[in-house]
Amino acid sequence: MTLAARYRLGVLLVYAPICFMLAGAGGLGLSASVASIGLLALPLLTGPGWRAARAAPLAPGLAIAAIAWFCISHAWSVHPRADEVYKLALLTPLYVAAVYACVQTGEGEARFARPVLLAGALGLGAFFAFEALAGLPIAVALQGLLHGLTDPEGALGIAMRRLSRGATAFIMLAGPAGLWFWLKGGYASRSAALFLLAASAIAASGFGVEANIVALAGGLVAMAFALRWPRATLVVILAGSALAVLASPLIMGALVALIPDSVAERLPLSWHWRLEIWSYALERIAQQPVLGQGLDAGRTLSETVMLRGMEIERMPIHAHHAGLHIWMETGAIGALLAAGSLLALARSAWRAAPGGPLSAGLAFAGSVWLISVMLGYGVWQEWHHGALAFALGSAFILLRRRG
């Protein structure tokens, strides 16, 4: 093993356990830990990365243009703080570098990194399953210990939100890890794969976020298709996502218009609320369709409405739909650049032709993330960008040789 390989392996062995611990703590620290992997590995990636970008410049070029436009749009946003500009501009390249560091790992490094990733996935699965089934005793106790919360209901609410985020990060990783165990064969390995599947289902349904359930189901479907049609599945996911972003005002506008109030009132409250959020986002898109309202403008929108006898915010921080969020804050220009980046990435995936297992792991993690940002999380939130990068990088280490 070369000195560079030893250095890269050392970075992974130090930071991968930190990533697992932070996922269990709610996922927010994943942004810094995954970015640290990218930052520390960056000196080894400059040459290979530059050559790869020159050989296929379309995807990185469009991605850079998209991020640049997102950041520029803050110039006309009413949100006073530019935090998101710095996060998008500085952290996103480091997430890409973290994934690329995993792509560059050789089999010698992977032999040492795999046990850490697999053990971490199993440990997270045991933690989230226990917390969901036992009523969050560890997370609630930590809220009281670390933050001095004496109100049990308040501590439980905060713990639920944090573990729901951590569960999303765990689910993204559990797919590639579970697939590795299943393909290895044998009673013990396949039992571990089934355990990860069961733990993912418990984590998805145990913390009050229905989007996690939908994301897990979508990820499993994508994995199954990718095992059968590796290249085509990745292309369909990426191209379909591009179309969903580009056409989201039309698609979501039709959906909101077609669901009558009588049906909406019978939906779970969280979904009825989503319909109201999406309707409001569409109104804001219509006000500024080309340039958008500006990055992070959604955080300043405070209009309320009565829903089922309760006063709710029509825009609680973000649009709860990635396509509408991009359109609302960065306009048609941002949507076109985002869709173009996804289409260019689909072209690159077709040319790379990853094998079935690797394609399945990437499809699972990517689909879980895409569904999550289309139904729940804000598209700019850096913690789930870091979680996605960690899951994709893990898929390369675990499944590339099998693919």
Is residue 204 a contact partner of residue 211, using CB atoms and an 8 Å limit?
A: no
Top-confidence range, 40-44, 144-148, 176-180: 176-180
pLDDT in tens, 219-262: 999 999 999 999 999 999 999 999 999 999 999 999 888 888 87
Domain presence at residue 330: yes
Mean pLDDT score across all residues of the chain? 90
pTM recorded for the entire structure:
0.93
- For the segment 361-381, the average pLDDT, to the nearest whole number, is 93
- The DSSP symbol for 302 reads -
Domain presence at residue 280: no
Number of domains in the chain: 1
Angle among Cα 235, 44, 55 to the nearest 5 degrees reads: 40
The pLDDT-based confidence of 25 (bands split at 50, 70, 90) is: confident
pLDDT in tens, 311-342: 788 778 888 899 999 999 999 999 999 999 99
Contacts of 257 (CB under 8 A, 6+ apart): none
How many other C-beta atoms lie within 10 A of the C-beta of residue 152?
Answer: 11
Domain presence at residue 312: no
Interior/surface letters 267-290, b for 16+ CB within 10 angstroms, e for the rest: eeeeebbbbbbbbbbbebbeebee
Determine the structural domain holding residue 181 and report its residue range: 3-245+322-399
Count of residues in the chain: 403
d(CA 271, CA 264): 8
Percent of the residues in the chain that have a pLDDT greater than 70, as a whole number = 96
Picking from 16-20, 105-109, 315-319, 360-364, which range would have the lowest pLDDT averaged per residue? 315-319
Domain presence at residue 272: no
- For the segment 364-378, the average pLDDT, to the nearest whole number, is 92
Domain presence at residue 261: no
How many other C-beta atoms lie within 10 A of the C-beta of residue 55?
Answer: 7
Domain presence at residue 291: no
